[in-house]
C-alpha cells in the first residue's frame, strides 16, 4: 500500500495506542492515520504558492491516488513560514485551474 519513499511523516489521531510494528493493528486502525508528503521552497511566494511548481514522484502519485483523502501534500515556504495542506485532488485542481 505504501512505498517507502512516497511519504515523509504520518499523523495518528486520537489517544489510543497504535503499534506501528504490527501490520494487523495498522490495518485495524487505519482510519486514524493520515500520510503526508512535505514539499518545501525558500522562494518568496503568495500563500497559495501560485506560479510555483513542486515536482511529484510517480510513487507519491500512486500512493495518493490509492489512499485518496488519507494522503496529503504539505507545501512549506521556509522563508515566510507559510504552510498549505492539500489532497491530490486539490493539487490537481490548482495545477489545472479548474
Mean pLDDT by 10 residues, the chain (98 residues): 76 94 94 93 71 80 92 89 90 73
What pLDDT sits at residue 79? 85
Are 37 and 8 in contact, with CB atoms under 8 Å apart? yes
Per-residue pLDDT at 35: 94
- In 3D space, the residue among 26, 18, 24 whose CA is nearest the CA of residue 70 turns out to be 26
Quick: pLDDT tens for 43-66.
776 666 766 677 788 889 899 999
Coil, helix or strand at residue 74: strand
- Cα of first residue to Cα of last residue in the chain, in angstroms, is 29
- Cross-strand pairs, 73: 37, 86
Report pTM.
0.80
Helix pair angle (58-67, 88-96), 10° resolution: 120
Amino acid at each position: 500500500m505504501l512505498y517507502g519513499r512516497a511519504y515523509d511523516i504520518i499523523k495518528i489521531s486520537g489517544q489510543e495506542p497504535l503499534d506501528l510494528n504490527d501490520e494487523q493493528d495498522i490495518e485495524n486502525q487505519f482510519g486514524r492515520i493520515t500520510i503526508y508528503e512535505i514539499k518545501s521552497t525558500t522562494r518568496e511566494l503568495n500563500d497559495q504558492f501560485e506560479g510555483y511548481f513542486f515536482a511529484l514522484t510517480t510513487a507519491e502519485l500512486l500512493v495518493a491516488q490509492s489512499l485518496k483523502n488519507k494522503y496529503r501534500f504539505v507545501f512549506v515556504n521556509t522563508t515566510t513560514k507559510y504552510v498549505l495542506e492539500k489532497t491530490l485532488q486539490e493539487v490537481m485542481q490548482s495545477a489545472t485551474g479548474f
